[in-house]
Copies of this chain bind each other. A is one copy, B any other.
Amino acid sequence: MALISPISSPNGKTFNQKLFSRIRVAIESDVPHIYKLMQQLFVYHNITHLLKSNESSIASGIFNPKFPNLSPVTTLLIEVSAIPFQSCLNDKTSSKEVDLSMPLIDEESEQFRVVKYDQHDVFIAGYVMFYPCFSSFFENPVFHMENFFIRECYRRKGFGKWLFSTMASEAARMGFSSIDWYASDWNESGLDFYKHMGATISDDFRVLSLDGKALEAFEDDSN
C-alpha cells in the first residue's frame, strides 16, 4: 500500500522525490549483505531447500578460494542513497538518479545499510554475480550469470536493466562470446525481462545435477 507523502517511516528508510544510485564491484566486507540478498533470491524462487552455502563459504568462494585456479567471481552491487554520491570507491562505478513519483519506503533498510559510510545513509538494493568460463559452443569464453536480484522495494525503477546492461557491456567489451544462466520456468516477469534484454530461452535443455549422497556414492567407486 503506497502512503501519501510520508516524511519518514518507523520501519525503515523513506526516500522522497529522488533516489541516487551507483553500481560498484563488491569487496569482502560486503559478504554479509550479499548472503542476505542471496537468501532473498532463493526465497523468491521458492528453492530455499537448495541453498546449502553459508556466509562463510560464500566469502571464501568469492574472495579466498580454498580450491585453486577457479575462475574469479565478480559481484556488482547497486547502492542507493537519498543524496548524491560524492566519491567513487574505484573506477568500476557508474551512477544514476531516479525520480520517484511517490515516496519509496525500504522497510529492511537496516539489514542492508552499508556501514562504511558515516556521512550519509547508503543501502544495498540488488546485485549480480557472474564468472567467466570455457564454452564448447563458442570461439571465446562466456560469462555464467550465477545470481541476479533486485530487492522488492527497488523494482520497476530501471535498476535491473541497468545492472544487467553493466554486466553485458563488460562481457561484450572484453570479447566474451555469450552470457548463460538459468531461470525459473514459472517466473514470467523474469523471463519477459530477459527476453527484453535480448536473451534466447532454450526450448529443450534441462538442467541436471548430481549432489549429496548420490555424488558421495562415487567417492569409493572402483569403476
Contact = CB atoms under 8 A, between A and B. Distances in A.
A197 B210 contact: yes
Q: What is the total number of copies of this protein in its complex?
A: 2
Given A133-B131, A136-B146, A215 B202 contact: no
Nearest to A208: B199
A134 B185 contact: no
A96 B183 contact: no
Decide if the interface of chain A is mainly helix, strand, loop or mixed: mixed
B201 A139 contact: no
B185 A210 contact: no
B205 A67 contact: no
Contacts of A147: 136
Given A184-B206, A198-B214, A200-B210, 18 more contacts: A52-B137, A52-B139, A52-B177, A67-B175, A70-B71, A71-B71, A96-B223, A129-B136, A131-B133, A165-B221, A168-B215, A171-B218, A177-B211, A177-B215, A179-B215, A182-B206, A184-B204, A205-B206
